[in-house]
Structures are given as structure tokens and as C-alpha cells.
């Protein structure tokens, strides 16, 4: 007889997944708000305002990915998809932030 491994859980809608989604969504929200201050402090006061332009991709990531995952987290359904989306938002925030750091003088 061959031993078979236990089956994977078919349902991701469990409390630990919900907590992970909500914690990551909260962390992404705090990071989104921090980027405004980070860029404002480093912007040229006599510039044309283009120093604040990197807030656009952060805002798009927040509203399209983080907020939708947080809503799914509060509702408690589709948490597997919400976890994947909020992880993608975290990775994209990191990539964009590293690009902003690379362009700073």
C-alpha cells in the first residue's frame, strides 16, 4: 500500500487567512500614506510638482488591489484570491518604491 499525503484544504476561507489579508491590507494602507510624506519631504519647494508624481502608481495599487482585497477580507469570502491580490500589491509597492529610491538624488 502506498501512503497518500493528507488532502489540501479546499477552502481558504478560514480565520488565519482572513487575518493575514487584513494585516497586509492595513500595512499597505499605512505604507501608501507614508509615501506621500516621504515624497513631500524630498520634493523641491520651487519645483513644478513632478516630484509628487510617483504617488500615482502607489494610489492605483492601493485602490485597485489593496482596497479590493480588504473588502474581501471584511466580507470573509474569496480569501484565497484576496490573499494573492494583497501579496501582489505588496510586491508592486516594493518594486515601485525601490524605483523611487533609485531615482532620488
- Collect all residues with Cβ–Cβ distance below 8 Å to 61 and sequence separation of at least 6: 28, 32, 89, 92, 93, 96
Residue 38, pLDDT score: 93
Residue whose C-alpha cell is 499597505? 28
**Could you give the CA distance from residue 22 to residue 26 in angstroms, rounded to a whole number?**
6
Question: pLDDT tens track of the chain, all 105 residues?
Answer: 567 766 656 677 788 899 999 999 999 999 999 999 999 998 888 888 788 898 999 999 999 999 999 999 999 888 889 999 999 999 999 999 999 999 875
Distance CA 55, CA 2 (A): 56
**Per-residue pLDDT, 105:** 58
pLDDT at res. 4? 75
Amino acid at each position: 500500500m502506498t501512503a497518500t499525503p493528507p488532502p489540501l484544504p479546499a477552502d481558504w476561507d478560514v480565520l488565519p487567512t482572513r487575518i493575514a489579508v487584513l494585516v497586509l491590507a492595513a500595512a499597505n494602507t499605512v505604507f501608501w500614506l507614508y509615501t506621500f510624506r516621504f515624497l513631500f519631504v524630498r520634493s523641491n519647494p520651487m519645483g513644478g510638482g513632478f516630484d509628487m508624481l510617483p504617488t500615482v502608481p502607489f494610489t492605483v495599487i492601493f485602490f485597485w488591489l489593496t482596497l479590493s482585497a480588504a473588502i474581501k477580507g471584511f466580507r470573509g469570502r474569496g480569501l484565497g484570491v484576496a490573499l494573492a491580490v494583497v501579496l501582489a500589491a505588496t510586491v508592486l509597492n516594493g518594486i515601485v518604491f525601490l524605483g523611487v529610491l533609485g531615482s532620488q538624488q
